[in-house]
Every structure is written in C-alpha cells, then in structure tokens.
Structure 1
Amino acid sequence: MGIPIEKPNAQWIKPGLIGHVRFLKGEGGLRQATLTKVRDED
C-alpha cells in the first residue's frame, strides 16, 4: 500500500483532518499561506 519506503517498522495511517489553505501566487510553491478552515475526515 502507498509508496515503497525503506523503514521496516513504518506504518501508513489514514489522515484524520483536512485543511483548506489560501495563498498568494508567487515564484513557485506557496507564498504567504494562511490556514482558513480545518475539518474532520469522515
């Protein structure tokens, strides 16, 4: 499941939160990101 990893004891878990992020467009990547909302994943 997921991406192969080189850690024998690692386990993948399902995320429990979803965040909504607002950001300005810039020179690649996020610029001045602001977390605007967080909700539970059902």
Structure 2
Amino acid sequence: MLLDGCYDAAKGPAVRHELIWGDFFLTLALAALHGIVDITRV
C-alpha cells in the first residue's frame, strides 16, 4: 500500500491519504515483471 500521497499539494485536498491509482499501477508493474499480465494487452 502506498501512503502519504497527495492529490493536490497546492490546495491541500487528499494530503497524506492512500491514493488508489498508485496502488493499481504498482500492482500492475509487479504483475508485469513476474509475467502474470502482458502490459501490451492492457
């Protein structure tokens, strides 16, 4: 889980919250590295 993400640092919303798309792309990258998913087809 990626923590302390910031959606808009200048305005302050979602400061220090988990950002779901960060978790998604981390999971996708790890799956691609392990050959579980073919990122050319995603």
With the length of structure 2 as denominator, give the TM-score of the two structures.
0.22
If each structure's helix is expressed as a fraction of its own residues, which one has the higher value? 2
Structure with higher RCO (Cα < 8 A, 6+ apart): 1
Q: TM-score, normalised by structure 1?
A: 0.22
